[in-house]
Amino acid sequence: MPSSTNTAGAAGDSALRTWLQKRIRQHFRSRFLHNATWMLSGQGLQLAGRLVYFVIIAQVLGPAGYGTYVACTALIVAMSPFASLGTGNVMIKYVARDRNVLPAYLGNALLVTVASGSLLTLFALLIRPRVLPASATAPMLTAVAIAELFGTPMTYICLQAFQALGQFHRCPQLLACSTGLRVVAAVILAGSTATPLRWAYLYAAAGVLATTGGIVAVSWCCALPRFQLNLLVPSVREGFHFATSTASQSVYDDIDKTMLARLSTVESAAIYSIAYRFIEAAMLPVGSVAAVTYPEFFRQGVHGVTSTFGFARRILRRSVVYGIAIAVVLFFASGSVPLIMGRAYAQGAVALRYLCLLPVLKSVQAFLTDTLTGANYQWQRSSAQAVVAVFNVLINLSVIRAFGWRGAACSSLLTDSLLIALLYMIIRWHLRRERAVFEATLPLPVFAGEE
């Protein structure tokens, strides 16, 4: 009788555990879909606004003027990760595990951005004559730097604060405000004498206003930023690897536009940039999923790469299917580029066909990189990205001179493929190492007669 009672109790416990696990999975999926919807709606609003002001300024400035602006922006964007020095990512890492540390990490991130952004602006002005065409003047570069080295990073830090706390419903409001101000700036430009310098001034003003609104929103809804100087140096030291990673990504994503303006023509830079904008738009759903799952990678990372890679594999099955589907759509829909942008950008359709495989590659990269980041191997992710960034610059020096934007497109595909290979090799090495450690800790079997 006791035996049957124990068996029934064990079965009941097993059924209860199964039910609880099922409910937890359902809750996670529901919360994940809810947050992903908020992020997708926010980034969708941002994309719509970007498309509006992107079309306006591309048409009113023309290929030459827009190409000059793109060259300035690409240079500053390549530097922008070092504006915050990765302190926003450090904030997400620790706030995802302990919400009470938000005020200190938020305040330190804003302080670092102000100091580092000032130094980077001076550096950009010093190298301007060597890397940018003569049409990219110092006042224009300064205005773009105010927008991209102060405004955008600080606005993004505010978004990261909401992201770390799981308050994704606030992200669309901040993104809509930031993009809406830039749309207003573009409309003002269209109604006045349109020059690249005037657009740079309007773009900077919109960025400053958006940042101010973001800081006020975070202070009101989450916590007031405060400075904790004893955490400043450790945050910068750890954040440097995040900054290196983001900077490397900016290099292999954006430096080819600056190199096109310098080594080829500003018109070719504009054509290539037009096509790349469509790729960025197509990656919006994958970016939304990556933003929502990013804090979870840090929580999974407590148990090592085996845990984070297992989490990534569940996402990769769907993201790769999406990447393949969107590549097909971009290839066949590329003929609409001149209809949207005007006949001056007719070659943008050809450029988009060259680049249409990028969504497949980037849908894999997005989660392989976070696999290493979540498991506290950000420095290995950064190293792999730095290697491919150097590779991209070196190969572009020859292919852009010879083939223009076509060479830059082929270089991008080759660079992104190389990054996937490097990341997977690193992850496989960790999986084998963790498996060996686990097997070494297992107790040795005891055979009959050995007692």
Q: What is the pLDDT along the chain (451 residues), one digit of tens a residue?
A: 455 555 545 555 555 455 445 554 554 455 666 676 767 677 777 777 777 887 888 888 887 888 888 888 878 887 888 898 889 989 988 888 788 889 999 999 999 999 999 999 999 999 988 888 888 889 999 999 999 999 999 998 998 898 888 787 787 888 888 888 999 999 998 888 878 889 899 999 999 999 999 999 998 888 888 888 888 888 888 888 888 887 788 777 777 877 887 787 777 888 888 888 888 888 888 888 888 888 888 888 888 899 999 999 989 988 999 999 999 999 998 888 888 777 777 788 888 898 999 999 999 998 999 999 989 898 899 999 999 999 999 998 888 888 888 888 899 999 999 999 999 999 999 999 988 887 777 665 555 554 4
Residue 359 tokens, joined: 């969504």
Residue 267 phi/psi, 5-degree rounding, is -65, -40
Q: What does each C-alpha distance from 170 to 105, 160, 213, 239, 335 come to in angstroms?
A: 19, 11, 13, 25, 37
Q: What does each C-alpha distance from 316 to 124, 303, 309, 370, 394 come to in angstroms?
A: 38, 20, 10, 12, 31
> Residues 392, 232: contact at Cβ < 8 Å?
no
> Residues 86, 239: contact at Cβ < 8 Å?
yes
> Residues 80, 149: contact at Cβ < 8 Å?
yes
For 175, residues 6+ apart whose C-beta sits below 8 A from its C-beta are 42, 43, 45, 46, 159
Q: CA 393, 69, 360: angle at the middle one, nearest 5?
A: 50
Residue 451 pLDDT: 47
305-333 vs 266-282: helix axis angle to the nearest 10?
Answer: 120
CB count within 10 Å of CB 166 equals: 15
Radius of gyration of the chain (CA): 24
Residue 323 pLDDT: 92
> Residues 235, 87: contact at Cβ < 8 Å?
yes
| Spatial CA neighbour of 78 closest among 30, 131, 37 | 131
Q: What does each C-alpha distance from 185 to 18, 179, 201, 253, 332 come to in angstroms?
A: 56, 10, 9, 26, 33
Place of tokens 């800790």: 441
Residue 232's region, left for phi above 0, alpha for psi from -120 to 50, else beta, is: alpha
Burial class (CB in 10 A: 0-12, 13-18, 19+), 239: buried
Helix, strand, coil abundance in the chain, percent, nearest 5 = 90, 0, 10
Residue 3 tokens, joined: 């035996």
Q: CA 7, 8, 13: angle at the middle one, nearest 5?
A: 95
What is the Cα–Cα distance from 139 to 367, expressed in whole angstroms? 39
The model's pTM is 0.69
What is the Cα–Cα distance from 108 to 229, expressed in whole angstroms? 8
What is the Cα–Cα distance from 217 to 224, expressed in whole angstroms? 10
